[in-house]
């Protein structure tokens, strides 16, 4: 079959079809041929006529439709995919097609996965409602921090920084993405010491606090570490989902260890940043939600990261929109945040949000405790409808933060 044979502009997708939205820039061929090439190479076709093709195979042909400028959609029959196998799905719709010589650029902007495939995965175990239940926080955004410096602290100092952040008002404390079990900070000792500090803090404040320890490792070792977290009273496991891989994350989720899974997206921009090529973060967010993470970094639209408000809003929709009854994933904003940005974040995200500030807490002139207080004060002011400047008059921690970081 020729590439052009995969183009059916007026095709009406079946409810069981998996639908992808692409952007393409052809190289020396027509847009229709380029779109047909994507459909062919991601389903039953290839670059030449086949002597092995059978008539019954044709019913599995992907179909290009809804061509608008450089954008088009492809409908894939559900029979092309194995249930509960995300690597198989992505190897088809987001595999060799990105390397086709006849395409200058190709970007997968959206996916619509049919109900039968979605329901073959477990999805989030907790989601937003479950997280709020564990933390006993019903409405407000969550406040979190990342231990800084991200690498180099010994376990005693690491645990002390966590304690100070919790005392100041943080709900969540997280390892950074590249802290694993290096010689200067071994995983098990770090976990035990930090959880012990959490017990001390909870007795003093009466608030529930969480430690998101990074369990990222080879899959068998990652499972071992996650089990240790649970055995020692931890409720969270953090995992670098893209560097671990989707199947590894699914293995962790399917183990049903009764841990909230915090998904860090380290490395995503290598795939998502180029607006003309690669895969959108919204697609990755849907995939990770289906696999079963409970919270995921969704960008900020402010701070040091580069995503636009439109992209962040699309990511939020992927995490929280209706998807055949799957639980909603909590969006996490992180990257260059400080108290002065809190009103804008809530305007973009709403109250279902975890605000994670590393330098914006530990860089406070008066230290980590006051930095955490400043973040909570910024949150309180915003929820009360008071400007940060007004609130800062009677709240010293916030005042110092605003003097340090402009909005």
Catalytic machinery residues: 148, 264
| Distance in angstroms (rounded) separating the CA atoms of residues 168 and 172 | 11
Contact 150, 176 (CB under 8 A): yes
In whole angstroms, what is the distance from residue 37 CA to residue 31 CA? 10
CA-based nearest residue to 74, from 44, 100, 102, 111? 111
- Rounded distance between C-alpha atoms, residue 95 and residue 180, angstroms: 30
The CA distance from 384 to 129, in Å, is 23
- Cα(187)–Cα(5) distance, rounded to whole angstroms? 55
Q: Are 167 and 198 in contact (CB under 8 A)?
A: no
Please report, to the nearest 10 degrees, the dihedral formed by the alpha carbons of residues 366, 195, 181, 168 taken in order: -20
DSSP string, 42-63: TTT--SS--TT--GGGGGG--E
């Amino acid at each position: 079959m020729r590439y052009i044979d995969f183009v059916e502009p007026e095709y009406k997708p079946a409810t069981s079809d998996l639908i992808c939205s692409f952007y393409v820039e052809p190289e020396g061929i027509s847009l229709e041929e380029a779109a047909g090439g994507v459909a062919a190479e991601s389903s039953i076709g290839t670059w030449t006529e086949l002597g092995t093709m059978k008539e019954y195979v044709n019913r599995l042909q992907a179909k290009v439709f809804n061509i608008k400028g450089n954008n088009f959609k492809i409908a894939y029959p559900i029979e092309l995919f194995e249930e509960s196998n995300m690597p198989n799905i992505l190897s088809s719709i987001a595999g060799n097609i990105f390397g086709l010589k006849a395409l200058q650029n190709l970007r997968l902007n959206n996916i619509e996965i049919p109900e039968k495939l979605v329901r073959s995965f477990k999805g989030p175990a907790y989601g937003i409602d479950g997280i709020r239940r564990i933390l006993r926080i019903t409405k407000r955004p969550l406040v979190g921090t990342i231990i800084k410096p991200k690498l180099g602290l010994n376990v005693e100092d690491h645990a002390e920084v966590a304690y100070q952040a919790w005392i100041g008002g943080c709900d969540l404390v997280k390892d950074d993405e590249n802290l694993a079990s290096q010689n200067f900070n071994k995983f098990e000792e770090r976990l035990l010491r930090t959880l012990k500090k959490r017990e001390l803090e909870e007795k003093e404040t009466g608030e529930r606090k969480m430690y998101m320890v990074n369990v990222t490792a080879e899959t068998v070792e990652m499972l071992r570490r996650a089990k240790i977290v649970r055995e020692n009273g931890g409720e969270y496991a953090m995992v670098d989902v893209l560097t671990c891989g989707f199947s590894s994350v699914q293995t962790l989720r399917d183990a049903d260890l009764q841990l909230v899974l915090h998904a860090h997206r380290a490395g995503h921009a290598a795939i998502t940043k180029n607006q003309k090529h690669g895969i959108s973060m919204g697609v990755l967010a849907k995939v990770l939600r289906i696999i079963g993470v409970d919270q995921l970094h969704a960008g900020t639209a402010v701070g040091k990261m580069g995503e636009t408000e439109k992209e962040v809003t699309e990511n939020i929709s992927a995490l929280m929109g209706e998807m055949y009854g799957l639980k909603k994933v909590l969006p996490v904003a992180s990257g260059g945040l400080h108290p002065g940005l809190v009103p804008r974040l809530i305007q973009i995200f709403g109250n279902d949000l975890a605000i994670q500030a590393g330098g914006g807490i530990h860089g406070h002139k008066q230290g980590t405790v006051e930095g955490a207080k400043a973040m909570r004060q910024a949150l309180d002011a915003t929820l009360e409808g008071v400007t940060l400047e007004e609130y800062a008059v009677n709240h010293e921690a916030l005042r110092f933060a605003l003097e340090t970081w402009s909005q």
